[in-house]
Amino acid sequence: SSMTSDQIRQSFLDFFESKQHSIVPSASLMPDSPNLLFTNAGMNQFVPYFLGEREATTPRIADTQKCIRAGGKHNDLEDVGLDTYHHTFFEMLGNWSIGDYFKQEAIEWAWELITEVWKFPKERLYASVYKPGEGDPAEFDQEAYDFWKAVFEKAGLDPEVHIVFGNKADNFWMMGDTGPCGPCSELHVDLTPAGDTKGSLVNADSPYCIEIWNLVFIQFNATPEGDFVPLKAQHVDTGMGFERVAGIMATSKNFTDFSTPPSNYNSDLFDTLFQEFEKLSGHKYQRTLPEDLDNISELEMKDVIFRVLADHIRCLSCSIADGILPGNAGRNYVLRRILRRAVMYGRKLGLENGFFAKLVPVVVSQLGHVFPELKKQADVIQRTIKSEEDAFGRTLDRGIQLFEKIAADEGNISGLNAFTLYDTYGFPLDLTELMAKQKGITVDTEGFEVEMEKQRAKGRAAHKSTDILVADSDAPAEATTFLGFDTLADEAELIDIVK
Ligand code: ATP
Ligand code: MG
Ligand code: MG
Ligand code: MG
């Protein structure tokens, strides 16, 4: 039988502990940096080390980091459920060298863990190496190439087949336009039934060839003048998708069976949630994948909804546990949108108002031993989601009626109508777009933005905000409000104001 997800996570940490790494707790999903909506990578909390602003107490670190990619530069929200390997909330396993070991150890240890401890079939593995394209910085990463070459040759595999090249877009990591940066190497797994793609599906958005691990070699400082100056201290920063590894191992029954499409949702991490959905909806999960995204069958849609709901409740629960509540701006609004998406999708399965909050204990029992803050805040999480869900439920039916009427009377949704749905009925724009798409009609998003801007201007005139700005948002910078746990009453009022 395959390893459980708990065993996989623990074996990662044990492996790096055996290589003298200190195991540290996950940082909060609330980032230190005002430029981030959510913590979105393991390295976020270690940036001060790379910048030389703070000294690391130990040069080797490993952990599992809670991440959310639902806004800003990394926004995977639209893929969630439609594919099986992008979540909003996920765990990123990582190991770091702060000015200590470099490419050789990082590559050899990654290979050792993947092939010897976890027993991934070597012939299905592909490593990508940085090769600059037109106008890209720095040089071909010969060092990484040579270390991978040695690894593949030792395994009796042809390096020319198993090493693929990527330019800046996929294989060069930069934090911003300036600062510490460097080439990266990624490990990809061929999960086609025959396993004979020879690397042709790497970075091709195929569910059958999945990127599992990114090894970043921080060796340059990008200057404002556009130079890439070698750093004195070189660092390693890696990130691996925990749910992807668990999903691959579970789907393939520890690499013995590649007949079914791989999916993160096949790992035991989602078992108890899916059992709950099956109980609530009467639908049994069929492990289907939409064949044509523009034409999703009813059965496929039910499976999509299972995946969306599982993803979204993990995201909401973990955010609230870290003090980020649904609200009307910035990261808080991202959460509100995610919650409302979940409620809408739940309705399509016939789930009753209040179902979403009831899922919280399932998440807490699944992840509470890894992230104790979930256990500690369980009541707050459930109350917050319940009040948010209730408030949305109160206007939802009227909103759906209005949407149906507009669709029947006018066909497409005008900017003003989309804004009314947003402003009066609490429909985030992406929700209206989702509903429109399912009807084969369009939404005038530009017109919507015009109406939004008018309202923002009014708001700005009405009161001066002292809130912090979120610059990494996909919307124009907006004020975000952190409401502490003792302000649930205020939060409920806020919901009513927003609507
Ligand atoms: P992809 O190309 O698949 O979107 P990425 O290159 O954006 O992944 P990285 O920024 O390199 O991802 O993050 C490190 C690792 O985290 C990835 O190799 C992947 O295994 C995992 N990962 C990234 N995004 C997600 C996500 N949305 N859900 C689950 N795992 C993810
Ligand atoms: Mg990505
Ligand atoms: Mg990638
Ligand atoms: Mg990557």
ipTM of the complex: 0.99
Tell me what the mean pLDDT of segment 99-106 comes to.
Answer: 98
Check residue 176 and give its pLDDT.
Answer: 82
What number is the average pLDDT over the span 275-288?
96
Output the CA 362–ligand 4 centroid distance in Å: 30
Would you place residue 497 in the very low, low, confident or very high pLDDT band (cuts 50, 70, 90)?
very low
Residue 498 has pLDDT above 50, yes or no: no
186 C-alpha to center of ligand 4: Å?
Answer: 7
Nearest C-alpha neighbor of 119 from the set 107, 111, 131, 128: 111
pLDDT for 491: 34
Task: List the structure tokens of 209.
Answer: 């060839």
Residue 380 has pLDDT above 50, yes or no: yes
* Averaged pLDDT for residues 445-455: 95
What is the rounded average pLDDT of the residues 122-140? 97
Ligand 1 center from residue 213 Cα (angstroms): 8
pLDDT at 422 over 60: yes
Give tens-digit pLDDT for 22-56.
999 999 999 998 889 999 999 999 999 998 899 99
With a 6 Å cutoff on the Cβ, whether 237 touches ligand 1 is: no
**Is the model more confident about 295 or about 277?**
277
Query: Which structure tokens are listed for 242?
Result: 């925990």
Nearest protein Cα to ligand 1, atom 14: 239
Average pLDDT, integer, range 387-394: 93
Is the per-residue pLDDT at 161 higher than 60?
yes
> Alpha helices, DSSP H only, in 131-270?
142-154, 159-162, 168-171, 242-251
* Mean pLDDT for the stretch of residues 378-394: 96
Domains and CATH numbers, the chain: 5-251 (3.30.930.10), 267-498 (no CATH)
Both tokens assigned to 344 = 């809408």
Higher-scoring residue by pLDDT: 50, 294: 50
Distance CA 148, CA 199 (A): 15
How far, in Å, is the centroid of ligand 3 from the Cα of 167?
12
Q: What is the mean pLDDT of the chain?
A: 91
Task: Enumerate residues 6+ apart whose C-beta is below 8 A from 312.
Answer: 80, 88, 338, 339, 341, 342, 356
Q: Tell me how far the alpha carbon of residue 331 lies from the centroid of ligand 3, in angstroms.
A: 24
SS3 label, residue 160: helix
Ligand nearest to the CA of 211: 1
| Ligand 1 site, residue 239, Cβ cutoff 6 A | yes
Residue 381, pLDDT score = 98
Nearest ligand to the C-alpha of residue 40? 1
Other Cβ atoms within 10 Å of 107 Cβ, number = 23
Could you list which residues have their CB under 5 Å from ion ligand 3? 211
Query: How much is the pTM?
Result: 0.89
CB of 87 sitting under 6 A from ligand 1:
yes
Secondary structure of residue 201 in the 3-state scheme: coil
Q: Assess whether the C-beta atom of 241 lies below 6 angstroms from ligand 1.
A: yes
By most ligand atoms within 8 Å of CB, the mutation choice from 29, 80, 92 for ligand 1 is 92
Q: Give the ligand with the smallest distance to the CA of 87.
A: 1
Residue 490 reports pLDDT greater than 90: no
* pLDDT value at 464 more than 80: no
**Can you give the pLDDT at residue 397?**
83
Token readout for 491 is 């939060």
